[in-house]
Amino acid sequence: MKNIRNFGLVLVLIFLSAGSINQVLAQETKPQDKVVLRSQAMEFVDQNRYLDAFPLLEKLAPLYPNDADLWAHYGIAILTRSGTLGSASERKTERIKAYNVLTKAKQLGTKNVNALNFLDNLPADGGVEDNLTGNPEFEKNLREGEGFFGRGEYDKAFTAYEKAFKINPKSYEAVLFMGDALYAAGKYKESEPWFAKAVELDPNREQAYHYWGDALMAQKKTSEARDKFVDALIAQPYSRLIWDRLGRWVGETGAKTAPLEITPPGNDALGAVRIDETLLKAENGTTSWKFYNETRKAQVVTSGSGKRTLAGEVAAFRKVAEVTRNDLKSGKVKYPDQNLINLVKLDDAGLLEAYVLMTRADEDIAEDYEGYRAKNRDKLRKFIIEFLLGMSK
């Protein structure tokens, strides 16, 4: 279900003895040996045995200075190991090291979604550790559960998580991990009530929806799984993990999708819009995009700041839709650009806010997301399914 959790210890079985690893690492690495070491490290990574992989990756990293995949896994291994260290200062030092390693992996062009997600959420200064409850017994049981989980002893993991849950029945992590232990044991149906309970505890966190969707996929309930992945995206639309999972769902199911594209001239499908008016043409109606610029400028003057806002961005898109609608009605434009037709459809459906928040948001606009989501989950769901995926309900 996952490669590694952001929280907790990840302890694994040692299938290769510490003595034999140390013997290999103590030797001077010959060119042919580093290939063998890399193969062994990647085998550990494939089994999620990052603690086993760590000493190998640490030795291999300087030998493969341009290997984005290896550096991505090295960063994850450092983070995994940091959770096993005794003091808070040591753990923070390792998190800073992980940040630097993951940054290099990104610069090298890694496509590892987990590594990039860790980097997204890891401050350069290592940040501050989560304080789960302040209850040592709770944390002890939760960490014991992580140890059992990492060793593949899922029944014991569930028992340990359950002890933590009984101490704090409102702990999202305890409930989520109980479901995860059942999932890992192949008890997919039994895991679902725990994921449902985690959702009940906090409907604005994506993990439980995500894991629930995986459990449904394991039971070949693909439509239900899609709905959970959509819920996960609604909970956290700016997480690359859930975008990746929804994309993989499309590939795994072979679902027929027809996304509604709105790409202004000279722009990409995602991100902030900047209109170059020299690219606009009267014959296909794209000259209406100049009203996006005019409306945005007016919003900046009104607000007194250069910050983009949800209201301002929606007003700019709506003005383009309004002009396009009038041009079509009057016959001024006979062969309109499809992107403009799609924009009108989106406006008619009342989904411009969802479109902007999901596909055009920067940090400023993203600040408006929680308030919109609180009252408009149905609109967000409709946008994702019918427009973003281009599927029926």
The reported pLDDT for the residue numbered 387 is: 94
Burial of 15 (0-12, 13-18, 19+ CB in 10 A): exposed
| CB contact at 8 A, 205 and 172 | yes
The reported pLDDT for the residue numbered 304 is: 64
For the chain, the domains span: 18-121, 136-253, 277-388
Q: Nearest-CA neighbor of 27 among 50, 52, 53, 59?
A: 59
The reported pLDDT for the residue numbered 166 is: 97
Can you give the pLDDT of all 393 residues of the chain as single tens digits? 544 343 333 322 223 333 444 444 445 556 668 889 999 999 988 876 787 889 999 999 999 999 999 999 999 999 877 766 657 788 889 999 999 999 999 999 999 998 998 898 899 998 876 545 578 898 888 878 876 776 678 899 899 999 999 999 999 999 999 999 999 899 999 999 999 999 999 999 999 999 999 999 999 999 999 999 999 999 999 988 899 999 999 999 999 999 999 999 999 988 889 999 999 999 999 999 999 999 988 876 566 667 888 999 999 999 999 999 999 999 999 899 999 999 999 999 999 999 999 999 999 999 999 999 999 999 999 999 999 999 977
Q: Nearest-CA neighbor of 209 among 230, 189, 228, 234?
A: 228
Dihedrals φ, ψ of 332, to 5°? Answer: -60, -35
The CA–CA distances, whole Å, from 145 to 26, 152, 303 equal 34, 11, 52
Of the options 3.40.630.30, 1.25.40.10, 3.40.50.300, 1.10.760.10, the CATH number for the domain spanning 18-121: 1.25.40.10
The reported pLDDT for the residue numbered 147 is: 67
- What kind of fold does domain 136-253 have according to CATH? 1.25.40
Do the first three CATH levels of 18-121 and 136-253 match, i.e. the same topology?
yes
Q: Nearest-CA neighbor of 181 among 203, 165, 200?
A: 165
Q: What is the pTM of this model?
A: 0.79
Dihedrals φ, ψ of 41, to 5°? Answer: -60, -45
Q: Nearest-CA neighbor of 281 among 269, 273, 289?
A: 289
The residue assigned the tokens 């650009």 is 337
Q: Nearest-CA neighbor of 313 among 300, 296, 297, 298?
A: 296
Interacting residues of 94 by C-beta distance below 8 A, sequence separation 6+: 78, 79, 81, 82, 85
The reported pLDDT for the residue numbered 8 is: 35
**Alpha-carbon span 146 to 140, nearest angstrom:** 10
